[in-house]
Amino acid sequence: MSNTGATVHITKLAAAQRQLRAAIRLYFIDEDELAIHTVASAAYRLINDLKAARGMTEAADVHLVSIFYVVRSFRRGTLPKHISENSEMMKWVAEMAEKLPITTESKIEDVTAHIDDNAVKAFWRKRNETSNFLKHADRDSQDQISLEKVDNFTLLMQAMAAYTDLVKNDLGPEGLILWLYSSILHGESEALPEEFRSIGRRLLEVHESDRRDLCFALIQELRARDVE
């Protein structure tokens, strides 16, 4: 009896999800930063195209998110210390709060942002600088790039936020742990929902230098539970 097997087909969304989850795991095991950046950037490009197909503009959404939650937290008096203790940052936040109709009760889905084509191009030019360097060498084979420009944490957070615009709660343990790691990193552990505070405490209890290792262990632990 012959067995020809079944052909597995992957959608663009599923491909982006798998790439992004893999990039998060690579980040937490401290893999090569260029490899992480390449995988995460590939996912982000797919996500951006999928958002565009649904009439969304990722560059505008990034600007909106970066402003909305900061201004709302400012209104609520819940800004994390890394912002509230930075006088220059607080000056900018206060200026934004004066200009924007964002209140303590505002929801992000009730607010829209629009930016012109030049701003969109500038956003992607900056965001793709490293990924383009890693992707091409036909016209710039002698170019170099500083590793200081490789900011994988920001890239992963932006990609995760963009993916969440398409599908909610679909990044598994990797998405959950990256969000918790970010919350701890920015001093927001007290604002975590009750169901996640035990994991938050575990992350807080370990030394900063060991936190990413613990994050990977937590991902593996949660993935094992999902299989059971």
Whether 41 maps to a domain, the answer reads yes
Residues 158 and 201 in one domain: no
Work out how many domains the chain is built from and give that number. Answer: 3
Q: So what's the pLDDT on residue 188?
A: 82
Q: So what's the pLDDT on residue 79?
A: 87
Judge contact between 119 and 67, C-beta under 8 A: no
Whether 4 maps to a domain, the answer reads no
Whether 160 maps to a domain, the answer reads yes
Residues 36 and 70 in one domain: no
Q: Which two tokens stand for residue 120?
A: 């969109």
Residues 52 and 128 in one domain: yes
Q: Where is pLDDT greater, at 204 or 186?
A: 204
Residues 93 and 180 in one domain: no
Residue 149 pLDDT class (50, 70, 90 cuts): confident
Last residue in a domain, options 114, 149, 183:
114
Residues 71 and 145 in one domain: no
Whether 94 maps to a domain, the answer reads yes
The one-letter amino acid code at 45 reads R
Domain extent for 40: 10-56+118-170
Last residue in a domain, options 96, 114, 132:
114
Whether 80 maps to a domain, the answer reads yes
Residues 41 and 79 in one domain: no
Q: So what's the pLDDT on residue 110?
A: 81
For residue 228, pLDDT over 70 is answered with no
For residue 1, pLDDT over 60 is answered with no
Average pLDDT, the chain: 90
Whether 45 maps to a domain, the answer reads yes
This prediction has a pTM of: 0.84
Judge contact between 64 and 112, C-beta under 8 A: yes
Average pLDDT over residues 130-153: 81
Average pLDDT over residues 174-199: 92
Judge contact between 70 and 93, C-beta under 8 A: yes
The one-letter amino acid code at 104 reads T
Residues 77 and 177 in one domain: no
For residue 142, pLDDT over 70 is answered with no
Segment 51-70, tens digit of pLDDT? 999 999 999 999 888 898 89
Residues 51 and 70 in one domain: no
Average pLDDT over residues 11-28: 98
Residues 63 and 33 in one domain: no
For residue 167, pLDDT over 80 is answered with yes
Whether 103 maps to a domain, the answer reads yes
Residues 94 and 204 in one domain: no
Residue 15 pLDDT class (50, 70, 90 cuts): very high
Residues 196 and 94 in one domain: no
For residue 138, pLDDT over 80 is answered with no
Whether 3 maps to a domain, the answer reads no
Segment 193-226, tens digit of pLDDT? 999 999 999 999 999 999 999 999 999 999 998 8
Residues 66 and 50 in one domain: no
